[in-house]
Amino acid sequence: ASGASDRRGSLLAALAHGKPIDTTRPLIPIPLFRNGANMLWPGTNKSEALAELTLEVLQNNRLRQELSRGALDLANRFAWPLIARETVACFQKELKKA
């Protein structure tokens, strides 16, 4: 398993809708993905550990609410207006170098 990735449309859709996410640890660390804050992954990528974690999320209302808030906050980092501003800023920076 490749773990959580910002290239996964299904993950980004879950974030945009504020859904609590339990998944596997990203193979390549993504600083925006914070275990326990905006998603949750077990200590191991074994299916049993993920199943136990899913059950914990389903049974813990407070945890689901915290993960939902974290997901919505993280979703803002993937919003098109922010992406557009950052892209323009990147090009402007490069143009100044030229």
Global model pTM greater than 0.85? no
State both tokens at 32.
């925006």
Nearest Cα residue to 40 out of 14, 67, 11: 67
- pLDDT computed for residue 85 by the predictor: 95
Spatial contact of 20 and 67, defined as CB atoms under 8 Å apart: yes
- Is residue 72 predicted with pLDDT exceeding 90? yes
- Please provide the DSSP assignment of 11-36 as one string: HHHHHHTT---B-PPPSS--TT--BT
Q: Which residue has the tokens 């914990």?
A: 56
Q: Is the pLDDT of residue 1 over 70?
A: no
Q: 35 with 25: CB under 8 angstroms?
A: yes
The pLDDT value recorded for residue 35 is 97
Mean pLDDT for the stretch of residues 45-72: 95
